[in-house]
Amino acid sequence: MKDKTFLMIPGPTPVPERVLLEIAKHPIGHRSSEFSKILESVYTDLKYVFQTKNDVIVYTASGTGAMDAALSNLINEGDKVLSLVIGNFSRRLAKIAKGLGADVEIIEAEAGNAINPDILKERLDKDVNKEIKIVTLIQNETSTGVTNDVKTLVSLIKEHGALSVVDGVTSVGAIECKMDDWGIDVLITGSQKGLMIPPGLSFLAASEKAWKVHEQCKHPDFYFNWTTNRKSVRENSTAFTPAVNLFCGLKVALEMMKEEGIENIIARHTKIASALRVAIKALGLKLFVTDEKYASNSITAILPPEGISVPDIRKVLKKDYDIEVANGQNELKDKIFRMGTLGYVSERDVITAVGALEAALYKLGYKFELGAGIAALIKELNK
């Protein structure tokens, strides 16, 4: 049906009605006192979501903009950077670092796996001269539905003394991420994920230690410059004309998040994604993640049953049930499909998704006990 598409991709994600209505209003002046009040509220609430005392810079840019901003404000040519790669998005950080002239070393886990903390520890222990300046990592790898144990990894990086730069695009506001408690140095995220607004904004917070490294950074950055942007944050302003309407929506979305409480939000994501995984397995399908303890609570990557193709599953879900799920990326294209349970997601949504998935598999001739997925899902949700 027209205009009925329901997104279960890893972003954009569904946006609450009251946020959309806020975005639909006529833009207001970005240098007005009204807008300054909105910014004050947004900047305060972002600290709550990031669980940090550091200022949170908001860029009018997509998540990749914040990834670029994170590294281009820290790296000088020749700097040694260690990149922990478990898929496309964590690899992007390595690419950006390399582009900036860093000497990039990669520790890579095969797709479907998380980084083994022991391997990181071993590498860092070997770096007796403390040559590694920055370690880049991702909390939740959107391309594979795998979540790194960021708490442990960051504690190892902290012990070594390098800076940790963490991509939290599909984790902040969905998966536990305590910037200050865990000692993350740079944390970024995007707007169209855990923060429940459309794409167009991205976010960056940095520790005092990272700010000191930034001061030594020679790479010129105008639009993404940390110093210019933080100065404006502290004045409840923005360095450059912001996406006013998205900020107005963000204010409301953050208020909703505070009302629900970050622990409750994370518990909701955990419950829904765990139940989805139980349902997927009850349908006889396989999860792509190799060890379920690293399974993502915001994105679930699923292998299609034998004889049924990913494009067919996606097509039927889209055409007959108006549900959009994501394909795999690059070498995983047509090998997995990915369901997002991220942001403004409820138990009803996952019931819808599993029900429609059963219907699609049924139509495509897959042999299974019809209703088994929903049954397992409901039981798990009500444990």
Binding-site ranges for a second copy (CB under 8 A): 3, 5, 7, 9, 11-15, 20-21, 23-32, 34, 59-65, 67-69, 72, 95-96, 99-101, 190, 192, 198-200, 220-224, 239-246, 324, 326
| CB atoms inside a 10 Å sphere around CB 229 | 22
Shortest Å, Cβ 89 to a second copy:
11
Shortest Å, Cβ 35 to a second copy:
10
- Beta carbon nearer to a second copy, 51 or 90: 90
DSSP for residue 166:
E
- Beta carbon nearer to a second copy, 69 or 282: 69
- Beta carbon nearer to a second copy, 2 or 126: 2
Shortest Å, Cβ 353 to a second copy:
15
Contact 201, 60 (CB under 8 A): yes
- Beta carbon nearer to a second copy, 8 or 156: 8
Shortest Å, Cβ 215 to a second copy:
16
Which tokens belong to 317? 């879900």
- Beta carbon nearer to a second copy, 299 or 326: 326
- Beta carbon nearer to a second copy, 121 or 318: 318
* CA proximity to 185, closest of 81, 100, 287: 81
Shortest Å, Cβ 4 to a second copy:
10
Counting other chains too, the contacts that 42-46 makes at CB distance below 8 Å and 24 or more residues apart are 42/247, 42/250, 42/251, 42/254, 43/233, 43/236, 45/251, 45/254, 45/255, 45/257, 45/258, 46/203, 46/205, 46/254
**Beta pairing class for 140-141 and 146-147:** antiparallel
Shortest Å, Cβ 34 to a second copy:
8
Task: Put residue 183 in one of left, alpha, beta given phi > 0 → left and psi -120 to 50 → alpha.
Answer: left
